Structure 1
Amino acid sequence: MVLDHPCSLRTDGVNLMPRLTVAEVRHRQPGKWEGCYNRFFLPAPFPGAEGPKQPSAAFFDACYHVSPEQLEAGTRQACLSDFGLNLLLQRRVHHFSRVVVPTFEFQNANGGVYDEADLVEEWCLDREEDGLKPLEAAAECVAWLREEEDGVKRQVLLRDPQRRSTVRRQMRSYLRELRKGTS
């Protein structure tokens, strides 16, 4: 499981960092959270888990650094929701400090980043249908997000929860126009 924050994964918004932090995921015995500071229990159903009797966890004391090539050679098994990401961050902070930060605080701090990651993924999937490679599509999306809209970069607008849906609508409209131009 990748543990790095979405902003920490990429050097320039497009290319992956040379070293990425991952945690080993393995099956664990059913039990309580109490005292399990070294792990993040994965929500069911996690791929590879055989129902609720085979719960899995990412172990913070079994972390490794991998290269982008190693990560890209694998297959994504699952993607956490915003709440799942917030729980992961909460557990990591708790693991390192024994401080419990409410998950909504992580959402307040990272909501725009989560939306940006979703927009880039949506853009890449859409543009892949037009024949673009993922890195080309990601670079195209990041360039579009960094363009100014009324004097403010769209990327900055994503920090404001009230503006996120507007940026998403603009993106979808722009992608439709791109598609019309290539067909």
Structure 2
Amino acid sequence: MHTPKARPRWVRGALVGASSAVMTAGAHAAAGAGLPSGGALVLALLLCATVAALFGSLRIEGRGAGWIATTAALGSAQFLGHVALTMTGHHHGELVPGPTMTAVHIGAAVLLGGAIVAVEHLYAVCSSVLCWLRLFARRTPRPVARIRRRASNVVAPRPVLAAGLGMRAPPGAVATA
């Protein structure tokens, strides 16, 4: 079921996946390993997307816990991306990254974790405000005034000697013959 609290989690998961994929490739390029391509890039993107999908389905309460969990998810996605790049032969190094690459990965995870939690919170606030504004901004037609008709059982007699045949006259076809 799509709930208002589920949508910010999906935004958080998408941001974790996209930013961890970009930071995995960017950290490797910044550390001198070059940008990944081909199968190494596809595998790193798949791993980052998997971590993002799993993380986007979690319900985390509180901004402090959200920041820690988001930072951990970013770090694990980047580590898995690094392992994928190492295993596919993208760069010839050890399985554990060097100090420069580790510092770049950790710094990116910490900064992006805070930014993603802030974006998730702002998304929830803005969607709530827009839902409330939609109630007041929507033009609704005014209800049409109903005309009330009352049924009456009162029979009003007509005058007999007035112009016309009155109530006790024979039918019009018989009266004209």
- TM-score scaled by length of structure 2: 0.30
TM-score normalized by structure 1? 0.30
Which structure shows the bigger proportion of residues in helix conformation?
A: 2
Report which of the two structures shows the higher radius of gyration computed on alpha carbons: 2
